[in-house]
Amino acid sequence: MRFDRDQFVADCISASADAEAQHAVREILARAVADHAGVLSALGTPREAGLDVLHRSPTLTIFAAKWSPHMNLVTHDHRMWALIGIYAGREDNILWRRTGATIEAYTAKVLFAGDTAALAADAIHSVTNPLEHFTAGIHVYGGDFFATARSQWSSESLTETPSDGAAIRAMFERENERLRCPEPR
């Protein structure tokens, strides 16, 4: 059965009204990315890093995230539950936790095409695409991802600074610039 973007969004919206919204939406996401080749065919092969927003409302955001080869996204939080379903490539997540005034890494999770993961509202993670080609995943959030103030942490000092949807989009724009103008070796 071919992935239908509009039906997927409608199903997620309906499931998000469930008392166990994250669990209900994860079931829909897992069914979708189980046919990861079908999702890739429907959403297209990634050609640049970015976020293709499928749905945005105060209670639910859905987008297809495309990670360029070797792209890293700094440690960040969401302040809402999140789901990740990979439909192409691989996504490496390092999970972090607060330890007083700083954070520390405590585990990692690798997601391959067809895998899903759930993150609690207080989760903190960093993301890497370790591959030579693009990675793509459907991300679902239990709120307005782009309007929610969040935090990100410096990769070197682990200093916490403000973040939001605009900051995340800027990271993807910088990544595309890196792809267009690679540094000489």
Between CA 48 and CA 173 the distance in angstroms is 9
Q: pLDDT of 89-121, one tens digit each? A: 999 999 999 998 899 999 999 999 999 999 999
Tens of pLDDT, residues 17-50: 999 999 999 999 999 999 999 999 999 999 999 9
| C-alpha span between 70 and 72 (Å, rounded) | 7
Scan for tokens 């207080």, then name that residue.
122
Closest CA to 118 of 53, 37, 42, 28: 28
Ordered domains of the chain (ranges, CATH): 5-180 (2.60.120.10)
- 105 CB contacts (<8 Å, ≥6 apart)? 94, 95, 96
Single pTM value for the model? 0.92
Instruction: Give the pLDDT band (50/70/90) at residue 122.
Output: very high
Q: Grade residue 1 by pLDDT with cuts at 50, 70 and 90.
A: low
Q: Which residues does 160 contact at the CB level (< 8 Å), separation at least 6?
A: 103, 151, 152, 153
Give the pLDDT confidence of 133-166 residue by residue, as tens digits: 999 999 999 999 999 999 999 889 999 988 877 7
Read off φ and ψ for residue 168, nearest 5 degrees: -65, -45
Residue ranges of alpha helices (H) inside the chain are 5-15, 21-34, 36-43, 165-180
